[in-house]
Every structure is written in C-alpha cells, then in structure tokens.
Amino acid sequence: MRFDNSETLLKKSFEDYSLSRGERDDLRKAIVDLDPSPHDLRFMRRRAFEIAREKTRDTSDFHILQWLEDVIKIIERSQKKITEEKHVETSDSIAAFSPGQGCRDEIISLIRNSRRSIDICVFTITDNRIYESLIEAHDLGVHIRLITDNDKAHDTGSDIYKIFRKNILVATDSGSDHMHHKFALFDRSALATGSFNWTRSASERNFENLIVIYEEYLVTRFSQEFDRLWGMLPRMQKIRGNPRC
C-alpha cells in the first residue's frame, strides 16, 4: 500500500510517545519519497490522530486530543477559504499576476511591512505608487539600496533619479548590456521575483507574474547575488547638482 511505510513509522514512534531524531528523519524521508498531494497529507494527519486516539480512548487525554484535532480542522478550512477568496497559495509563497493590481499591491505591502532593509534589483521603476511607498519607508529609517539599468534610468517617467535625490543609494551597470534582473529582498527574509517590471504599464497592460518567497535557501542565494552585484557596480553620483549613471 502507498502509505504502509509511513504508517509503520508513525506506530513505531508512538510506542514511547515521542519522536527521536532518527524517527523524525525517517518519517520525513518517507513522506518526501511519497511525493504526496495535499489530499495525501490530510490523510496522513488523520491517520496520526487515529493512531493516537486508539491509545487514549479510555482516558481523559482523549478530550485533549479531540480538541486539538478540531482546532487543526478549523485552521485548515480557514486556509482553504482564504485561498479561494484571494486566489493565492496558503503556503510560504504567494503568486500574483497582471494585468491587475495584484503584483504591485504585493510589492507595496512588502515595502510597508519592512522594518530594517530593502534591497532592490530591478530593470526599471516608473510606477509612482511604488516610488512613494519606497520614500515613505526611507523616511521611517528603512535602509534601501537599489540596483538598476543605467539606460532605463534615462527613460521618460523613470523614478530612478527621484529616488536618488532622496539620498537612497543607487548602483547601475555601466556597460552596453542591460541589468535585467527583477527581484527584491525585504528584511533579508522575503524575496519577490518574477517577470513583473515595477512599472505602471506592467500593472495595467502586460501579462506578468510575481512570486513572494520566504524559503531560507532562495532568500540567501538572491541575497548573495545582490551583494555580489552591489560590490562590482558603480554608484550613481551627483555632478554639479545632477546625477550621473
């Protein structure tokens, strides 16, 4: 049967009412090897409760277990309702798409919820609502660094110079090739990336995507790439009152 190995591990670990480190690793490996669907995971959670209930049926502990199971059911149903209403995954990741305001709203929310730092590495910024949110965060003491494309900084409607004039650190590529990344890090704990450009046209007309990720490995890898680029690209400087890329 599909779940025989994992159920055997569940029953074995319950013999002494605790999960040892080895049992945790074995159970985790058994679950990963199954490549379970959300339905499979719900089934496994239910079996874990049933195994525990068999041992507590005639004791007062049964009522504690029943309470815990009911609470978890409510949480899972609430998560499902949120997913259906917001059309996003209720995991550690969020997906948004345009045309529409979803991508831009996620970015603005991340900016407003940042408390320490925002590192941005994007092709261009022309959406004034994102610009205004960045300035608000900067004024509140959030440390902001921006890496962008030197050519796009000169486009009509670009907010790059305005950002620079607010004393936010800006670095640009200096060659003929483009700095085409589109990602940002918020408090070094959240990563936003995807095809979405930080422009009004991306929200209003283009078919774009944005994902927000809280997974430690990916946040670390993108942080390393940002730091690598920040260390090698020239800073925007003021020349006689005007910025130079």
Catalytic residue numbers?
Answer: 180, 182, 187
- The answer to whether the CB of 140 falls within 8 A of the CB of 114 is no
Structure token digits, residue 198: 């930080």
Instruction: Determine the longest span between alpha carbons in the chain, in angstroms.
Output: 84
For the residues of 116-137, what is the DSSP string, one character each?
SEEEEEES-B--HHHHHHHHHH
Residue tagged 């959240």 (tokens)? 190
Residues ≥6 apart with Cβ < 8 Å to 169: 144, 145, 146, 235
- Pair 161, 243: CB distance under 8 Å: yes
